[in-house]
Structure 1
Amino acid sequence: MGPPELAAAIFALLLTPGPTNTLLFLAGTERGFPRVLRLIPAELAGYLATVVPLTLAGAALLSRFPEARPAIALAAGLWVAWLAIRLWRLPSAGPSGSGSVTARDVFVTTLLNPKALIFGLVLLPAPSVTGILANLGQFAAQVVIVAMLWAGGGALVAARTGGTRSVILLRRAAAVWLGVVSATLLARALGAA
């Protein structure tokens, strides 16, 4: 896969709605764009903590320990379920409050994000160290760009709808979506066990 095809594949997968993007969108609605930018390093760190080892040795490890795949899906499903419940129950932080989404939430959610498996096992491995480093650099840049798009989208929605009630409704919608993602992950984990 050449650089343009890799860029398109990374971009398409990163743009797909998932738990991390949901958190960034929600954080954008609660904090506004400038303050949500502080969460992007947590997303990048979460992805790199998973993707780098997978890119370097993941295929060999997962073929040796196939039970790790459903265990990872189970951990991710349980984490996302906990996030969904927490987001549903939170009181209003108000549109200009510090928000309900923390850097820790973003880091752990991204660390357990199933997309990281695709990046680390399929898209980013290359035959040479130089190729791997180039792919990781491209990936990191695209993570930042897409995170800014999701966070900016949340900030834009909040600016257009305004008010604490809208933030609460968006938080509840995010909780429902995370519940669906969690159920899917748990079903995969239990089906593979």
Structure 2
Amino acid sequence: MYVNDWSFLLVIATILLTPGPTNTLLASSGISQGLRRSAPLLSFECLGYVCATSIWGLVLNTTMQDYPFVINIIKVVSGLYIAKLGWRLWHQARLDPLQELMASVKPLELFIATLLNPKAVIFAMALFPVQTWLSVSNYAEVMGSFVLLVASIGALWIAFGSVLMSGRFRWLQPQWFQCLAALTLWGFAVWLLIHGIFY
């Protein structure tokens, strides 16, 4: 069986363009490291999304029937980790970027944040065609298109951060964006914790 309808990629692209834990870290790296030095992070983002969506798609459906509390545990762990990343960004925003004292985003941090990203659940459980999991060829086709989309949009977020660093928009300082990014991460963390504990 082959995948016939590729319109799901448009929905995925829209979701990938929205701010979230991974995009926030990519933009932050663009601010502190620039476009060229941040580009290698894209491979870790792609790897994180491939691992996450594959796990959710192949395991979660069967696990949820017998152990529904597993999703709550995953949400709490994800929320705590993303809150930690938010704290690090908030502290980083207080440093002077001109002196290059801002800590760079570590590849492993980006990989884990992507692995725990709630968007991966939506992609695997709701947006990927059912045929994705029925054959190796379908899986390769869908994942190949998905990875190209992830890398392209991730590069846009890094470029956005590097534009902030260039000072072209004087009204929007990198420190302000990083504070906003930290608040965004905390917002995601609170949402995950609430849904993990009370739902």
Check whether the contact 1:39–1:103 (CA below 8 A) recurs between aligned residues: yes
Residue 108 (structure 1) aligns with = 112
Correspondences of 1:33-182 after superposition (within 5 Å): 33-90=35-92, 92=95, 94=97, 97=100, 99-127=103-131, 128-129=134-135, 130-159=137-166, 160-161=168-169, 166-182=173-189
Q: Which 4+ residue blocks in structure 1 deviate beyond 6 angstroms? A: none
Do the aligned partners of residues 140 and 84 (structure 1) sit closer, same or farther apart at CA in structure 2, a change above 3 Å counting?
Answer: same
Check whether the contact 1:92–1:167 (CA below 8 A) recurs between aligned residues: no
How much is the aligned-residue C-alpha RMSD, in angstroms?
Answer: 2.1
Q: Which moved more, 1:104-113 or 1:92-101?
A: 92-101
Check whether the contact 1:62–1:69 (CA below 8 A) recurs between aligned residues: yes
Offset at 1:147? 0.3
Check whether the contact 2:164–2:173 (CA below 8 A) recurs between aligned residues: no
Q: Under a length normalisation based on structure 1, what TM-score does the superposition of the two structures give?
A: 0.89
Offset at 1:65? 1.7
Check whether the contact 1:31–1:95 (CA below 8 A) recurs between aligned residues: no
- SS of 2:173's partner is helix
Distance 2:191 2:44 in 1: 24
Distance 1:155 1:83 in 2: 20
The count of residues paired between Structure 1 and Structure 2 equals 190
Distance 2:90 2:40 in 1: 23
Offset at 1:166? 3.0
Extract unaligned runs of 5+ from structure 1: none
Residue 31 (structure 2) aligns with = 29
Q: Under a length normalisation based on structure 2, what TM-score does the superposition of the two structures give?
A: 0.86
1:119-150 CA distances to partner (integer Å, 9 max, x unpaired)?
12222253331222211111111110110111
Percent sequence identity is 29
Distance 2:129 2:103 in 1: 37
Distance 1:137 1:151 in 2: 21
- SS of 1:92's partner is coil
Distance 1:35 1:179 in 2: 26
Extract unaligned runs of 5+ from structure 2: none
Offset at 1:63? 2.2
1:131-181 CA distances to partner (integer Å, 9 max, x unpaired)?
22211111111110110111111111221247xx93333222211111111
Offset at 1:116? 0.8
